[in-house]
Amino acid sequence: MIKVKAFGGYSKIGKSMTAVDVDGDIVICDMGADIEKLVDFEDDKNYISIRDTEALIENGVIPDDRKFFEEDGKRVKAIVLTHGHLDHVWAVPFLAAKYHCPIIGTPFTIKVLEHLARNVKVGGLRFISLNTGTKYKISQKTTLEFVNITHSIPNSAMTVLHTEYGAVIYANDWKLDDNPTLGKKPDYERLEAIAKEGIHTLILDSTNVDQEGYTFSESVVRTMLEDVIKKTLDNKTIFITTFSSHIARIKNIIEISRKLNRQVLIFGRSMAMYTKAAIETKFIEKAKFPEVAMKREQINNILKYVRDRPGKYVIICTGHQGEKGAFLDKLATGQYEYRLGNEDAVIFSSRVIPTPLNIANRSMLQNALEELNVNVADNVHVSGHASKNEHKLILKMLKPKHYIPSHGGMDKISVGIEMGKEMGYELNKTSHILLDGQEITFE
């Protein structure tokens, strides 16, 4: 018997957590946060600690596993993480310890988790670093294998649980980038071999399944960035904002800027955490990365220096969603001793994640930048999520018996179900709609 129970990450994006029960042995896949609710929660607090766990659950920031833990907690054999995005791992320091089981992720993901656990002063978690392409026996009934996949953060994996019924694959999140600029391309060979052995269930991130065609490679953004930086007039200081966890993107910005004779600076607390994890796991070289500045005074001092040398710097910073309190918001609202103006350019190497809060924040930031006469370039970006044709390719390649679209909400899930129909999947027989709080049992 295989049972798949959805805690979060199905009815809407965020708070990813799924339990896979194989004849009584349970593996939990991901334990993430609802990022919007986390930002709200952080707004009211200076510091979040383990004592806030109940409040975090009550406020919908992290998954509610209380009833499940009481009834089935002892049967949980492992907690497995696919990648280091906060909507997939942030809840681990708060929820994982009570299960007394190993917490397994690829090396970069585990480094991020160690930093997160240290931030909230949680110790004693049993982390296991497992490379892609290797296996780990979780119990008599389940063996774990991580298969290398591309996304928008280093060391992303598809979680493969080998069982006597065939493999259960938890694929949140993914895209098929055959020309990644950091790390390897997807391990098609291994995926094909697993498909040959037989796949029972595929749980598939559907964030962009409603986008026709293919998601472009990160190497395309590299070219776009080079173009935009080159075309920015050489008397302007450039601020580029992107996702802190997107190490490949940050590395590309550094390399391009230096090639074009600009020095690079990095500002922001979350930039510091992710670049540290990437250096520690050797995805990037410390010597080739600038120190990340976080403290206000330090940033002010650096900015004074930058102001006197227009056209010489590229500054990589946080704040691409217009988030209050991030560097770019503070800069645009005059909270640093640097007045933005016509001699500055801001490049958004990102896309607005369309939540009401982000849309509002971003349009306020946009207005502020326009009023200051700043040169703005937007959407110099490609997504880390697969488009419709990649979904078709992966279904064709893996041929799972059962297909469960996840990570996107009902509107994306229903596009996934429609796409599945084209590929021969039949609703409630071989394709299934699973929403948060629901479970599906395969006898």
| Binding region for Zn ion (CB under 5 A) | 85, 173
- Least separation in angstroms between CB 88 and Zn ion: 6
- Least separation in angstroms between CB 109 and Zn ion: 11
- Least separation in angstroms between CB 196 and Zn ion: 28
- Least separation in angstroms between CB 313 and Zn ion: 30
- Least separation in angstroms between CB 425 and Zn ion: 24
- Judge contact between 343 and 310, C-beta under 8 A: yes
Q: For Zn ion, which is the closer residue by CB, 13 or 419?
A: 13
Cβ burial, residue 441 (10 Å; 0-12/13-18/19+): exposed
As beta bridge partners, residue 169 has 160, 202
DSSP states of 21-88 = EETTEEEEE-----HHHHHHHHHT-S---GGGHHHHHHTTSS---HHHHHHHGGGEEEEE-S---HHH
Q: For Zn ion, which is the closer residue by CB, 35 or 76?
A: 35
Q: For Zn ion, which is the closer residue by CB, 173 or 187?
A: 173
Q: For Zn ion, which is the closer residue by CB, 215 or 237?
A: 215
d(CA 41, CA 416): 32
- Token pair listed for 173: 């999140």
Q: For Zn ion, which is the closer residue by CB, 146 or 425?
A: 146
Q: Cα dist. 122→50, 62, 83, 92, 160 in Å?
A: 7, 16, 20, 10, 28
Q: For Zn ion, which is the closer residue by CB, 31 or 340?
A: 31
Q: For Zn ion, which is the closer residue by CB, 79 or 157?
A: 157
- Least separation in angstroms between CB 143 and Zn ion: 25
Write down the residue that tokens 């509107």 correspond to.
Answer: 411
Q: For Zn ion, which is the closer residue by CB, 145 or 173?
A: 173
d(CA 244, CA 115): 14
Amino acid residing at 275: T
Q: For Zn ion, which is the closer residue by CB, 87 or 329?
A: 87
- Least separation in angstroms between CB 204 and Zn ion: 13
d(CA 91, CA 61): 9
- Judge contact between 440 and 10, C-beta under 8 A: no
Write down the residue that tokens 């016509």 correspond to.
Answer: 342
d(CA 264, CA 43): 30
- Least separation in angstroms between CB 245 and Zn ion: 8
d(CA 374, CA 377): 10
- Least separation in angstroms between CB 67 and Zn ion: 27
* Intra-chain end-to-end CA distance of the chain, in Å: 5
